[in-house]
């Protein structure tokens, strides 16, 4: 029997409030929880609902081992989201400061997808049905 497990990605970023605003504006995430401010004025976690999953952002704190992609020289993880309109989501992300790494196009494996780097260095695969 498989235990009931939920996985909630927590993205480490320099500025959780700025990241929260980006994910709300670009992806339609809904902020559902914001922890009280830490000593440096940043929230320790901001929780969002994105579709049926939780997406959290927290500040980079080297003493805790919480490092942002800029601290690591790049992102060690790819976040993949499947959406109805990958082109529109990619365009919204870029309009809010993200950059295209691989253009969103029809792919030979039967999906329309591409890669976007958000303003905080995290890499996203945006995918959906062929058009």
Average pLDDT over residues 8-37: 95
128, two tokens: 């959906």
Please report the pLDDT score of residue 98 as a whole number.
98
Local confidence band at 103 (pLDDT 50, 70, 90 cut-offs)? very high
Structural domain count, the chain: 2
What does the pLDDT look like over 64-88, one tens digit per residue? 999 999 999 999 999 999 999 999 9
What does the pLDDT look like over 25-78, one tens digit per residue? 999 999 999 998 778 889 999 999 998 899 999 999 999 999 999 999 999 999
2, two tokens: 């498989």
Local confidence band at 17 (pLDDT 50, 70, 90 cut-offs)? very high
Asked if residue 25 is part of any domain, the answer here is: yes
Please report the pLDDT score of residue 108 as a whole number.
96
* CATH (domain of 113): 3.10.180.10
- Domain range for 119 is 73-131
53, two tokens: 């999953």
Taking only Cα atoms into account, the Rg of the chain, rounded to an integer number of angstroms, comes to: 15
Query: Which residues sit opposite 102 in a β-bridge?
Result: 115
Question: Does 93 have pLDDT greater than 80?
Answer: yes
Same domain flag for 48 and 87: no
Question: Could you tell me if 129 and 83 are in contact, meaning their C-beta atoms sit under 8 angstroms apart?
Answer: no
Residue environment code for 97-130, b if the CB has 16+ CB neighbours within 10 A, otherwise e: ebeeeeebeeeeeeebbbbbbbbbbbbbbbbbee
Same domain flag for 56 and 84: no
Asked if residue 32 is part of any domain, the answer here is: yes
CA distance 115 to 89: 11
Same domain flag for 3 and 54: yes
């Amino acid at each position: 029997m498989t235990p009931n497990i939920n996985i909630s990605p927590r993205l480490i970023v320099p500025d959780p409030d700025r990241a929260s605003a980006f994910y709300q504006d670009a992806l339609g995430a809904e902020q559902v929880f914001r922890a009280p401010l830490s000593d440096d004025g940043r929230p320790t976690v901001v929780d969002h609902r994105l579709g049926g999953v939780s997406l959290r952002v927290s500040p980079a704190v080297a003493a805790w081992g919480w490092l942002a992609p800029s601290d690591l020289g790049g992102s060690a993880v790819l976040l993949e989201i499947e959406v109805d309109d990958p082109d529109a989501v990619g365009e919204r992300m870029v309009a809010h400061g993200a950059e295209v790494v691989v253009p969103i196009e029809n792919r030979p494996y039967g999906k329309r997808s591409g890669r976007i780097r958000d303003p905080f260095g995290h890499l996203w695969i945006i995918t959906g049905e062929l058009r």
